C-alpha cells in the first residue's frame, strides 16, 4: 500500500480489509499514460461538479458511475453506464470491460465542451435574455399577495430579488453604479442583444 498522501481513514480501512492498494500521484487527463485505458470508474456520489466524468467521456472512454442526480447529465451519452447498488457496480464494470466505446457524434462532443457548459449556465441564469423589468408599480400588490403562511426564507428571498432590481437600492448595498444591466462590451462578449439605451455608451472609469 502506498503513500503518505493516502488519507488516514482510508489506510486504516485498507489494512482492516487486508487490501494492497497503490495510490499514484495526480496526472493531467491528456497524459499519454491514459490513452490505452477504455473504462473510467467514478463511484462518487459527492462529486457534484463531476469534471473528471465529463473529461473521460470526451476522451471516448466508457464511464461507470452511480445512478445519482449529479450524474443525470451524463446519461444521454452512449458510453455512460450507471448502477444502483454494489452488485450493479460489479456487473456494469465487467460488462464495460468486454465492450468497445461508441464513437461520439459532433453534437455529443459539443455537449461535453466548456462552450456548451457556458451556454447552459447562461440559459439557466437567464443571462441569454436582457431583462425588460419595469419599475414595479404593482409592487405593493405583489407583496400583499404573499400569504401570511409563507416561510420567512421565501419572504427574504423575494425582498432581495425586488431590491436588487432598482439602481438606487443596488448602490445602497454596494453595487457598482450602472451595473444593473450588462454594458455594450459585456453584451458582445456574452452574445446578448445590445439594449438601445447602451449602444455607443461609454462605461464610466474610476480614475481616482
pLDDT at 35: 85
Q: Measured between alpha carbons, how far is 39 from 61 in angstroms, rounded to an integer?
A: 5
The model's pTM is 0.53
pLDDT at 14: 82
pLDDT at 1: 36
pLDDT at 77: 96
pLDDT at 208: 44
- Per-residue pLDDT of the chain (208 residues), as tens digits, is 344 455 677 778 888 888 888 777 878 877 888 888 999 999 988 876 788 899 999 999 999 999 998 899 999 999 999 999 999 999 999 999 999 999 999 999 999 998 898 888 888 777 555 444 554 555 555 555 555 545 566 666 666 666 666 666 666 656 666 666 777 777 776 677 776 665 555 444 444 4
Domain residue ranges in the chain? 29-112
Q: Which three cell numbers stand for residue 154?
A: 421565501
pLDDT at 88: 96
pLDDT at 25: 80
pLDDT at 205: 47
Amino acid at each position: 500500500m502506498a503513500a503518505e498522501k493516502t488519507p488516514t481513514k482510508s489506510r486504516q480501512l485498507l489494512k482492516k480489509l487486508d487490501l494492497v492498494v497503490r495510490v499514484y500521484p495526480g496526472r493531467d487527463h491528456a497524459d499519454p499514460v491514459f490513452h490505452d485505458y477504455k473504462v473510467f470508474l467514478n463511484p462518487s456520489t459527492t462529486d457534484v461538479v463531476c469534471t473528471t466524468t465529463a473529461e473521460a467521456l470526451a476522451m471516448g472512454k466508457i464511464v461507470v458511475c452511480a445512478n445519482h442526480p449529479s450524474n443525470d447529465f451524463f446519461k444521454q451519452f452512449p458510453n455512460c453506464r450507471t448502477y444502483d447498488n454494489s452488485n450493479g457496480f460489479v456487473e456494469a464494470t465487467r460488462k464495460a470491460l468486454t465492450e468497445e466505446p461508441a464513437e461520439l457524434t459532433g453534437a455529443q462532443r459539443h455537449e461535453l465542451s466548456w462552450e456548451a457548459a457556458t451556454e447552459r449556465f447562461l440559459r439557466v441564469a437567464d443571462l441569454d435574455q436582457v431583462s425588460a423589468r419595469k419599475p414595479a408599480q404593482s409592487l405593493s400588490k405583489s407583496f400583499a399577495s404573499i400569504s401570511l403562511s409563507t416561510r420567512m426564507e421565501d419572504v427574504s428571498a423575494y425582498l432581495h430579488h425586488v431590491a436588487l432590481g432598482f439602481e438606487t437600492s443596488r448602490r445602497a448595498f454596494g453595487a457598482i453604479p450602472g451595473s444593473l444591466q450588462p454594458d455594450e462590451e459585456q453584451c458582445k462578449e456574452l452574445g446578448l442583444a445590445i439594449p438601445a439605451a447602451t449602444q455607443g455608451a461609454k462605461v464610466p472609469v474610476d480614475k481616482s
